[in-house]
């Protein structure tokens, strides 16, 4: 890519992320921007100014070497200084100030982008710092989308429905043969530190579900008494199920003799052919045990998503090396729900596994650990401080994840009790010859 093309693609990615932040924050009035919709989340106005503050720290001050715009607010928007529950009580910028602040920072960033050589320093090679800030804003946009899902009141977000699944019979599972594959990446320019470096991993043969688990299948688990049977739950999972009184995915409620759900303010019947979403790791684990299966591990997920048995290579995405389009995957908040299971045939992996990218994040039975040869970059707080914590891995992105913020190698992690995120799962099982 020429430097001109790289600058143009960075500018486009910055604009796309800002359009989305603007849509998510302009959709509600100022009173709703400063309110905390759930103890789990920040006020939307905190996310907005925090996006601007991170952009200022990295691109204006570090990459650009410019004077600070608002050094006095750094502490307020440092996510490590203030847990989410505390943030509404802070002397935050009001909505008008926050909007003016992010605009001022962005104007300076476009100037920095024009004048900075995009090489010669690890932080700027191939536009890395800009890519990191684009991903940061998109990650907060997905968090803000989750805040919208938690918000009470009439719907304010609207989008067309995703494509239907083609009428074809898919096998329930795909077989993945034993052998090594290349996991992680050394060459992906905007890959974050925890995705690096590329390294070989041996994976024993296994079966993996062709699609994420649907609401219909999940309802069968519920109807079979799955939530009331400790046999299917891990010890921690059962304790959490009891403490939180789990009986169904989050945002589901009984309506007479059926279940309905609330989705961005709309109450609707449960679509049985859509991937289940808003379940925690423990619910996913219990379903898998009930189904006689288990959750995939992180190497199993990545091998299913990237390994091409014809060439022995790992691809950037299941469909190949080209960036995602609307034909490949349900990404970028283009739709406000996952697509039915079996959709996006053009996005399937060489082995025939579907919907690995987009629709729902997938819970995996792996903890967050560094790859061999990991180096923290550009700061320890991105990944390193989380290694070995109480987290489970999530892969593939959701309908609320932008294409800049997910890849075949992208790693996400969260506490196993989290349910407000757009997470579902698929199952796997060991291959027992004979
Ligand atoms: Fe952040």
Share of the chain above pLDDT 70, in %: 100
401 pLDDT tier (thresholds 50, 70, 90): very high
Mean pLDDT of 167-171: 95
Q: Are 162 and 343 in contact (CB under 8 A)?
A: yes
Question: What distance in angstroms lies between residue 54's CA and the mean position of ligand 1's atoms?
Answer: 7
Mean pLDDT of 265-288: 98
Using DSSP, how many helices (H) and how many strands (E) does the chain show? 9, 12
Q: Residue 380's pLDDT is what? A: 93
Half-sphere exposure of 11 (CA within 13 A, CB side): 13
Q: Residue 154's pLDDT is what? A: 94
Buried b (16+ CB within 10 A) or exposed e, 72-98: ebeebbeeeebebeebeebebbebeeb
162 pLDDT tier (thresholds 50, 70, 90): very high
Q: Express each pLDDT in 341-399 by its tens digit.
A: 999 999 999 999 999 999 999 999 999 999 999 999 999 999 999 999 999 999 999 99
Copy the structure tokens of residue 183.
């996991």
Question: What distance in angstroms lies between residue 200's CA and the mean position of ligand 1's atoms?
Answer: 31
333 pLDDT tier (thresholds 50, 70, 90): very high
Query: Rounded to whole angstroms, how far apart are CA atoms 305 and 140?
Result: 25
Checking if the pLDDT of 132 tops 80, the result is yes
Q: What does the angle CA 324 – CA 327 – CA 328 come to, to the nearest 5 degrees?
A: 45
Query: Rounded to whole angstroms, how far apart are CA atoms 336 and 160?
Result: 8
Mean pLDDT of 85-94: 92
pTM over 0.95: yes
Average pLDDT, the chain: 97
Question: What distance in angstroms lies between residue 131's CA and the mean position of ligand 1's atoms?
Answer: 14
268 pLDDT tier (thresholds 50, 70, 90): very high
Checking if the pLDDT of 434 tops 80, the result is no
Q: Residue 343's pLDDT is what? A: 98
Mean pLDDT of 260-281: 98
Mean pLDDT of 231-243: 98
Question: What distance in angstroms lies between residue 245's CA and the mean position of ligand 1's atoms?
Answer: 31
Q: Express each pLDDT in 362-378 by its tens digit.
A: 999 999 999 999 999 99
Question: What distance in angstroms lies between residue 48's CA and the mean position of ligand 1's atoms?
Answer: 10
Question: What distance in angstroms lies between residue 218's CA and the mean position of ligand 1's atoms?
Answer: 33
Question: What distance in angstroms lies between residue 73's CA and the mean position of ligand 1's atoms?
Answer: 15
Q: Residue 85's pLDDT is what? A: 87
Question: What distance in angstroms lies between residue 139's CA and the mean position of ligand 1's atoms?
Answer: 8
Question: What distance in angstroms lies between residue 80's CA and the mean position of ligand 1's atoms?
Answer: 9
Q: Express each pLDDT in 6-54 by its tens digit.
A: 999 999 999 999 999 999 999 999 999 999 999 999 999 999 999 999 9
Q: Residue 432's pLDDT is what? A: 83
Question: What distance in angstroms lies between residue 203's CA and the mean position of ligand 1's atoms?
Answer: 34
Beta bridge partners of 175: 207
Question: What distance in angstroms lies between residue 363's CA and the mean position of ligand 1's atoms?
Answer: 22
Question: What distance in angstroms lies between residue 51's CA and the mean position of ligand 1's atoms?
Answer: 7
Checking if the pLDDT of 114 tops 70, the result is yes
Mean pLDDT of 108-129: 96
> Which residue has 């070995």 as its token pair?
388
Checking if the pLDDT of 2 tops 90, the result is no
Question: What distance in angstroms lies between residue 386's CA and the mean position of ligand 1's atoms?
Answer: 14
């Amino acid at each position: 890519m020429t430097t001109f093309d790289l600058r143009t693609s960075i500018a486009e990615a910055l604009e796309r992320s800002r359009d989305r932040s603007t849509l998510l924050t302009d959709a509600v009035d100022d009173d709703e921007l400063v309110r905390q919709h759930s103890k789990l989340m920040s006020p939307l106005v905190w996310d907005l100014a925090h996006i601007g503050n991170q952009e200022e720290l990295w691109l204006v001050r570090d990459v650009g070497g410019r004077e600070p715009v608002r050094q006095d607010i750094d502490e307020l928007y440092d996510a490590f200084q203030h847990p989410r529950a505390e943030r509404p009580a802070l002397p935050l910028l009001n909505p008008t100030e926050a909007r003016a602040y992010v605009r001022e920072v962005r104007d300076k960033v476009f100037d920095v982008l024009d004048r900075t050589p995009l090489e010669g320093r690890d932080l700027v090679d191939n536009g890395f710092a800009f890519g990191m800030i684009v991903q940061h804003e998109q990650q907060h946009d997905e968090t803000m989308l989750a805040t919208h899902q938690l918000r009470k009141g009439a719907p304010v977000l609207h989008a067309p429905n995703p494509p239907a699944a083609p009428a074809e019979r898919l096998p329930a599972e795909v077989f993945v043969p034993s052998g090594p594959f290349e996991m992680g990446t050394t060459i992906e320019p905007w890959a974050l530190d925890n995705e690096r470096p590329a390294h070989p991993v041996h994976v024993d043969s296994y079966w993996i579900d062709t699609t994420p688990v649907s609401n219909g299948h999940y309802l069968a688990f519920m109807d079979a008494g799955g939530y009331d049977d400790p046999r299917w739950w891990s010890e921690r999972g059962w304790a959490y199920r009891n403490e939180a009184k789990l009986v169904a995915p989050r945002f589901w409620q009984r309506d007479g003799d059926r279940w309905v759900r609330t989705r961005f303010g709309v109450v609707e019947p449960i679509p049985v052919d859509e991937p289940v979403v808003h379940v925690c790791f423990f619910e996913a684990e219990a379903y898998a045990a009930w189904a006689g299966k288990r959750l995939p591990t992180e190497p199993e997920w990545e091998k299913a998503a990237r390994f091409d048995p014809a060439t022995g290579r790992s691809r950037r995405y299941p469909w190949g090396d080209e960036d995602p389009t609307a034909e490949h995957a349900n990404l970028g908040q283009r739709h406000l729900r996952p697509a039915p299971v079996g959709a996006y045939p053009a996005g399937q992996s060489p082995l025939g596994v579907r919907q690995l990218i987009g629709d729902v994040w997938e819970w995996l039975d792996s903890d967050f650990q560094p790859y061999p040869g990991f180096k923290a970059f550009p700061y320890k707080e991105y990944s390193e401080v989380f290694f070995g914590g109480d987290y489970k891995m999530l892969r593939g992105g959701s309908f609320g994840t932008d294409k800049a913020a997910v890849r075949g190698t992208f790693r996400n992690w969260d506490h196993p009790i989290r349910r407000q995120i757009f997470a579902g799962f698929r199952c796997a099982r060991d291959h027992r010859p004979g």
